[in-house]
């Protein structure tokens, strides 16, 4: 096995290799003076099982690095190349919901396949149907087990799991089931345009409860903070949040700091430049490392799909 990474999240890649008890492969990723990307694998990969770890959050250079690294490995006669994408960018653009717009997630899937990837390993896809955009195997594992130990410190029989919208109901129900069939509630919201959402109603009982909002990502934090404030105004005792992918663009950290959220748990699928005392980062390195190990050894990874 050989594991390489691009420049999107080397800290996570090194933690994964520490779990696997191997050294991370030496690779060069740099820019020419005109901004073009140059990559090179500095180790022999002929006949090897190669894993390339790279999240594809903005800028688009992260996606291009991934494609170039895959192509480099294939042209160097790697036996198999698995793209390990902790955060799959463009996953929110998974359908044609307006005239004359692309299905960007499908195009990204095509690019990764065309570059030569034999398999994809990712974490908490925004839309699970994206797996069907690929003509190669895709393992979409859940990050929820990572929060399990931390959640035990704050959970009680008085806890309600909150879905931030109707689309997140399955995720919330899976989390609630993991902790003994906790009750769930749903935030009914309207989204007039991208990155804008208005909370309309809370479906379920939250008064006097400790509430945990469960979502796959937080971007501008407008939806999360609006939901947290609405839950608090509806009489909730405390509000917590779990989001796998902390994109935290714009003034998201400031919004969270000034919100009703007591604690917010996130993973390290993408690096956080600015943090807050409310934000607690949990690593998914062991989870991804175990998945990589099982794929390499041709063992089942189905147990990692359980929410």
pLDDT at residue number 174: 85
Instruction: Answer yes or no: do 274 and 290 share one domain.
Output: no
HEC secondary structure over 79-108: CEEEEEECCCCCCCCCCCCCCCCCCHHHHH
Q: What is the pLDDT of residues 175-230, one digit of tens each?
A: 888 877 889 999 887 665 665 656 668 888 999 999 999 999 999 998 899 899 98
Instruction: Answer yes or no: do 135 and 228 share one domain.
Output: no
Residue 57, pLDDT > 70, answer yes
What predicted TM-score, i.e. pTM, was given to this entire model? 0.93
pLDDT at residue number 60: 95
Q: What is the pLDDT of residues 254-263, one digit of tens each?
A: 999 999 999 9
| Domain CATH code at residue 28 | 3.40.50.2020
% of the chain residues with pLDDT over 90: 74
Helices (H), 103-260: 104-115, 144-152, 169-178, 222-233, 252-257
pLDDT at residue number 179: 79
Instruction: Answer yes or no: do 233 and 266 share one domain.
Output: yes
Instruction: Answer yes or no: do 185 and 166 share one domain.
Output: yes
C-alpha 139/C-alpha 122 separation (Å) is 6
- Read off φ and ψ for residue 173, nearest 5 degrees: -65, -40
Give me the residues paired with residue 293 across strands. Answer: none
pLDDT at residue number 26: 97
Instruction: Answer yes or no: do 160 and 128 share one domain.
Output: no
**Bond into 59 cis (ω within 30):** yes
The domain in which residue 55 lies consists of 2-142+286-305
**Of the listed 18, 74, 189, 238, which one is catalytic?**
189
C-alpha 247/C-alpha 17 separation (Å) is 24
Q: Is beta strand 159-163 parallel, antiparallel or unpaired with respect to 49-53?
A: unpaired
pLDDT at residue number 97: 87
C-alpha 74/C-alpha 47 separation (Å) is 10
CB atoms within 10 A of CB 183: 14
Is 189 annotated as catalytic? yes
More confident site: 171 or 137:
137
Instruction: Answer yes or no: do 31 and 131 share one domain.
Output: yes
Lowest mean pLDDT among 94-108, 161-175, 205-219: 161-175
Q: How many domains does the chain have?
A: 2
User: pLDDT-based confidence at 144, cuts 50/70/90?
Assistant: confident
Please name the helix (run of DSSP H) or strand (run of DSSP E) that holds residue 64, with its range, or none.
helix 61-75
Instruction: Answer yes or no: do 127 and 154 share one domain.
Output: no
Instruction: Answer yes or no: do 200 and 271 share one domain.
Output: yes
Instruction: Answer yes or no: do 87 and 97 share one domain.
Output: yes
Instruction: Answer yes or no: do 14 and 134 share one domain.
Output: yes
Instruction: Answer yes or no: do 14 and 133 share one domain.
Output: yes
Instruction: Answer yes or no: do 235 and 109 share one domain.
Output: no
């Amino acid at each position: 096995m050989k594991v390489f990474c691009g420049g999107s999240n080397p800290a996570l890649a090194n933690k994964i290799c520490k779990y696997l008890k191997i050294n991370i492969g030496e690779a060069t990723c740099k820019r020419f003076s005109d901004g073009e990307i140059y990559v090179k694998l500095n180790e022999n990969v002929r006949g090897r099982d190669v894993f390339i770890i790279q999240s594809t959050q903005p800028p688009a250079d992260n996606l291009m690095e991934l494609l170039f690294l895959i192509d480099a490995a294939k042209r160097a006669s790697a036996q198999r190349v698995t793209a390990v994408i902790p955060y799959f960018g463009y996953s929110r653009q998974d359908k044609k919901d307006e005239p004359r717009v692309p299905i960007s997630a499908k195009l990204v899937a095509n690019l990764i396949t065309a570059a030569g990837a034999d398999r994809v390993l990712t974490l908490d896809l925004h839309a699970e149907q994206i797996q069907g955009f690929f003509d190669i195997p895709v393992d979409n594992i859940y990050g929820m087990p990572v929060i399990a130990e931390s959640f035990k410190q704050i959970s009680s029989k008085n806890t309600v799991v909150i879905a931030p919208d109707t689309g997140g109901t399955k995720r919330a129900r899976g989390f609630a089931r993991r902790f003994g069939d906790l009750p769930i509630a749903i935030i009914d919201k309207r989204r007039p345009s991208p990155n804008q959402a208005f909370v309309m109603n809370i479906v379920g009982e939250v008064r006097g409860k400790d509430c945990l909002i469960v979502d796959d990502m937080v971007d501008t934090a407008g939806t999360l903070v609006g939901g947290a404030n609405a839950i608090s105004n509806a009489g909730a005792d405390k509000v917590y949040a779990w989001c796998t992918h902390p994109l935290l663009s714009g003034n998201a950290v400031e919004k969270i700091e000034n919100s009703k959220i007591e604690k917010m748990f996130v993973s390290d699928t993408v690096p956080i430049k600015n943090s807050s005392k409310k934000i607690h980062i949990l690593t998914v390195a062991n989870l991804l490392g175990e998945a990589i190990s099982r794929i390499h050894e041709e063992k089942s990874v189905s147990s990692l799909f359980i929410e």
